[in-house]
């Protein structure tokens, strides 16, 4: 604990991924709702090119406006987190900090940090990178650790781990940069062998960025190249018939009834899928919570969500996404999100609201769990 009466929480948002604007919107929701009487809040933004900068505490500057997301912009100073206890330092320069020749001419101590809330989606944030930095700095943080974050961010590795734990993840093919460069035709043949439709995705991106639904072999190459714009590793998944349901999981709870929330369901127009525009811009998608699922299947989905959480050694929180077909008995894990959408209207907070945990209380629960977590190997 610092000398502050309240635990000091560093809220980190923005980042280098294609989900930068989503992260800013998430931060806006947190900044509006967090209990300032309980937590001392320090916002920190990461620009699209990876600069750590002081950030405004005004949520209005970070929210989507007219369908357009906001970005973190750099000013004249930078912020650094020092190892060995997590002290924040604001650095000033003798010129433009973006100039490689600029030198540090001043450092202002901003004090120590007790807990970091990393609201970073996608690569360079949700993938174990910032988690590793925070481990090195010996600072507690909300969410999964290094290995769990890295594996869960990679859709292929997630499927490998979950399949090894006996959890149904469907059929898929991985296309690596080396495989694509060596023989594009062979890659496309493996993908086509899954049958159509297939979904072509960046392996390590979220918010449905770079995803294409492909109905025939002719569309595969274009879809792979679109996914490669976001990640050189590409996964191709066989289409699955079923409802899209989601389950929120919180760490530190012993059984599926307390650790998982009532299910949510994504209802999209016929023939479409839940892409970036549907998630954050338009309003044609229905988010139903709690989902109308037969009790036996709801229990099965929630138990499987906790099994997936444990198999990946998750901590803090995760949202486990499923395909559910009660007619065939299919309960299939699509992916696991270790930093799910967390705006007030996102599914994860809505699911926990259905369990009686409102948005400010959910933030409290995550910070309180992180506050008692062991620093270092666990």
Q: What is the pLDDT of residue 269?
A: 66
Q: Which parts of the chain are beta strand (E)?
A: 8-14, 40-46, 52-54, 77-82, 87-93, 104-112, 115-118, 140-141, 172-175, 198-202, 212-214, 234-238, 243-250, 264-267, 286-288, 317-325, 330-337
pTM score > 0.95 for this model?
A: no
Q: What is the pLDDT of residue 200?
A: 98
Query: Considering just the CA atoms, what is the radius of gyration of the chain in Å?
Result: 21
pLDDT lower than 70: segments of the chain: 1-4, 206-207, 269-285
Q: What is the pLDDT of residue 3?
A: 47
Domains of the chain: 8-141 (3.40.50.20), 151-169+241-356 (3.30.470.20), 172-238 (3.30.1490.20)
Q: What is the pLDDT of residue 254?
A: 82
- Laid out side by side, the sheet with 87-93 consists of 77-82, 87-93, 104-112
Q: What is the pLDDT of residue 107?
A: 96
Longest dimension (CA), the chain: 67
Q: What is the pLDDT of residue 209?
A: 79
Q: What is the pLDDT of residue 281?
A: 46
Here the tokens at position 161 are 């781990």
**CA dist., res. 216 & res. 316, Å (int):** 40
Q: What is the pLDDT of residue 267?
A: 84
Q: What is the pLDDT of residue 271?
A: 52
Whose CA is closest to 124, among 99, 145, 149, 98? 149
Angle formed by the axes of helices 184-192 and 220-228, nearest 10°? 110
**CA dist., res. 192 & res. 376, Å (int):** 45
Whether 174 and 194 have beta carbons less than 8 Å apart is answered as no
Q: How many Cα atoms occupy the beta-carbon half-sphere of 150 within 13 Å? A: 8
DSSP β-ladder status, 104-112 and 115-118: unpaired
- What phi, psi does 147 have (nearest 5°)? -65, -45
Cis upstream peptide for 290 (omega within 30°): yes
Spatial CB neighbours of 16, under 8 Å, sequence gap ≥ 6: 46, 48, 49, 50, 123, 124, 125
Q: Which parts of 16-64 are beta strand (E)?
A: 40-46, 52-54
**CA dist., res. 36 & res. 32, Å (int):** 10
Q: What is the pLDDT of residue 188?
A: 98
């Amino acid at each position: 604990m610092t000398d502050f009466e309240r635990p000091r929480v560093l809220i980190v948002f923005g980042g280098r991924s294609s989900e930068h604007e989503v992260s800013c919107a998430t931060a806006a929701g947190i900044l509006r709702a967090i209990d300032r009487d309980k937590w001392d809040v320090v916002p920190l933004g990461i620009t699209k090119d990876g600069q750590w900068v002081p950030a405004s505490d005004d949520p209005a500057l970070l929210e989507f406006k007219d369908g357009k997301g906001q970005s973190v912009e750099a000013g004249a100073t930078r912020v650094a987190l020092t190892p060995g206890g997590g002290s924040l330092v604001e650095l000033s320069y003798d010129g433009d900090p973006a100039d490689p020749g600029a030198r540090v001419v001043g450092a202002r101590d901003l004090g120590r940090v007790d807990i970091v809330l990393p609201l970073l989606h996608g690569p360079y944030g949700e993938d174990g990178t910032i988690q590793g930095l925070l481990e090195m700095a010996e600072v507690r943080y909300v969410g999964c650790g290094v290995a769990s974050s890295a594996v869960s961010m990679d859709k292929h590795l997630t499927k490998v781990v979950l399949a090894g734990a006996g959890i149904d993840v469907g059929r898929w093919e991985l296309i690596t940069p080396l495989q694509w460069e060596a023989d594009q035709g062979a890659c496309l043949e493996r993908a086509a062998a899954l049958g159509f439709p297939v979904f072509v995705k960046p392996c390590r991106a979220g918010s449905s960025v770079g995803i294409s639904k492909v109905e025939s072999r002719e569309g595969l190459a274009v879809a792979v190249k679109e996914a490669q714009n976001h990640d050189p590793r590409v996964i191709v998944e066989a289409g699955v018939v079923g409802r899209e349901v989601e389950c929120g999981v919180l760490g530190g709870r012993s059984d599926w009834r307390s650790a998982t929330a009532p299910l949510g369901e994504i209802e999209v127009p016929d023939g479409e899928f839940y892409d970036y525009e549907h998630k954050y811009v338009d309003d044609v998608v229905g988010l139903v919570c709690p989902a109308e699922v037969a009790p036996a299947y709801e229990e099965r989905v929630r138990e499987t969500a906790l099994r997936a959480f444990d198999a990946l050694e998750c901590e803090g929180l995760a949202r486990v996404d499923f395909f559910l077909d009660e007619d065939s008995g299919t309960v299939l894990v699509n992916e696991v999100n270790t930093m799910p959408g967390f705006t007030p209207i996102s599914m994860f907070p809505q699911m926990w609201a259905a369990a009686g945990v409102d948005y400010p209380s959910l933030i409290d629960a995550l910070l309180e769990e992180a506050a008692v977590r062991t620093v270092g190997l666990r």
